[in-house]
Structure 1
Amino acid sequence: MSIEIGEQDPGSAPFLGRTVLRPRQQVEDALREAVLSGQLRVGERLPAETELARQFSVSRPTVREALSALETQGLIRKVPGAGGGSFVQTVDHHALGEVIQDSMHTLVRLGSISAIEVAMVRQYLEVPSAALAATNRTEADVAELRSIIDAQKACTVDDPRVPELDVRFHTAIARMSGNRVLASLIFALHRESEPVSYLEMSPDLGRETVLQHQRIVKAIAGSDCAAAEEAITEHLTYLREHMKVATQR
């Protein structure tokens, strides 16, 4: 193909096009950048919806949609009431875990994934986490785990503290791994595959769970990585098998 004099080769023309964003997306992107760049600090309250609408020259519903998207992403939190508003959320591994858990909860409720699948992935992550905890733990960490077990021993199977104590035990080990991303993922996975929500709790199951927790703590306290991996693998496999039976019913 020949190009006449005065014509421009399309291949040599500068590319100037870019995606034209909707107003809501523009507001969302601008506010997200303000949070991530530090222009809006952690805990700081954003301007009111009316003020943001004025600044961006958009409608209040547009601003409201953008704020809802940022809340879903864990970047801001909305506080109701006279002294409320939209505040910059703490953007750390705890917030990451909560966002992931919310998303997984929706998928489990919709039937897109099963709690058993979540429990299996949790095991893949908790096993190396226990080994890292055995390497990195402090005496204060060991004391914390032992205090949780003491509280578990004092509980009956129908005690409302049982689920929260179990969460505390497993998330404490994840935190001791020293890897905050790993701790965030384990927090989310544990919250969504919490065995107490699926199991028919019995005194025998409760006692065996505490005994397994004690073996895990003994290995971590002794800085025995292999024993910690073995103990937590036994524990999570035991719970997952009971979950299978309960969910099939």
Structure 2
Amino acid sequence: MTTSTQNESGSSPKIIGRTVVRPRQQVEETIKAAILAGELRSGEMLPPEAELARQFNVSRSTLREALRSLSTQNLIIKVPGARGGNFVQSVDYRSLGNVVIESVDNLLALGGIDFDEVADVRQQLEVPSVRLAATNRTEEDLKNIEEIVTRQKEATVDDPSIPDLDRDFHTLIAQASGNRVLASFVAALHHATEPVHYLDLSPEVGRETVKQHQAIVRAIDTQDPAAAEAAIVHHLTYLRRHISAHQAK
């Protein structure tokens, strides 16, 4: 006895069909495929909407729905004005970080994930990041990181630039690792768990943080991955302890 999913020979039928999608999806998938295949290059302007609607034989409203969906996927960007239009988004590793930032921020705001979960992952990623930075950093990388620490040392705890300096410090180390994907994730997770926003930033904590940053820089300077790991773990553990104490108040 054969089942309805088998042909007369008893074998399963060959699958040759595919789901029929709506016109909006067809437009979206066609343009997306052209972008991913490189047929539409980064920064290239798409044809005018009227022309695209004619090419796809769809209404302008259907076309705009497809373009809005592509925009939310960060594949295209709409530039207003007389010289504007729909452009293929310039995609590099920073774009990946922006997508992660937006997603993590939304999940934190909606309560889908906890701060501690994000902070845990960030700490796990910063260890290989600083080890790779100690191995792969260039003189320019080192100079840029040292400049940030110098500015931190000169700043007071109420300086509005403190959060940006802290974020730049960790981001520059991640970039010095030479791994762009790792750099994107470290930057994104640091943005979501910016320690300065969760700390009771007293002058004492500020001075200790700068000292810890200096220790990390020394390890990167001497290209000592083990010392760099020990310094970053000490630093992140210190921050987590103070954040927890501040939140418990």
| TM-score, L = length of structure 2 | 0.91
> Take 2:70 and 2:122, find their aligned partners in 1: how far apart are those partners?
27
In structure 2, give the amino acid aligned to 1:93. Y
Deviation for aligned residue 1:62: 2.5
Alignment of 1:80-229 (within 5 A): 80-229=80-229
**Long gaps (5+) in structure 2:** none
Give the aligned partner of residue 29 of structure 2.
29
Any idea what SS the aligned residue of 2:78 has?
strand
Paired positions, count: 246
Please give the alpha-carbon distance, in whole angstroms, between the structure 2 residues aligned to 1:239 and 1:67: 43
Instruction: For structure 1, list consecutive stretches of 5 or more residues without a partner in the other structure.
Output: none
Superposed CA deviations along residues 113-161 of structure 1, whole A, max 9, x for unmatched, are: 1222111100000011101111111222111111111111222222221
Matched position secondary structure for 2:87 = strand
Counterparts of 1:200 and 1:78, CA distance in 2 = 42
Q: CA deviation at 1:208?
A: 1.4
Does the 8 Å CA contact 1:153/1:210 hold for their aligned counterparts? yes
Instruction: Read off the aligned partner of 1:147 and give its amino acid letter.
Output: E
- Moved beyond 6 Å, runs of 4+: none
Pair 1:71-2:68 in alignment: no
Residue type of the alignment partner of 1:189: L
Cα distance in structure 1, aligned partners of 2:245 and 2:227: 28
Q: Which amino acid aligns with 2:92?
A: D
DSSP-derived class of the 2:243 partner: helix
TM-superposed deviation, 1:52: 2.1
Q: CA deviation at 1:50?
A: 2.9
Alpha-carbon distance between aligned partners in 2 of 1:139 and 1:90, rounded to the nearest angstrom: 28
In 2, distance between residues paired with 1:244 and 1:88? 44
- CA apart distance, 1:13: 4.3
* Shift of residue 26, structure 1, vs aligned partner: 1.3
Give the root-mean-square deviation of aligned CA atoms.
Answer: 2.1
Identity in percent: 58
Q: CA deviation at 1:112?
A: 0.5
CA drift at 1:90: 1.8
Say which is worse superposed, 52-61 or 155-164, in terms of deviation. Answer: 52-61
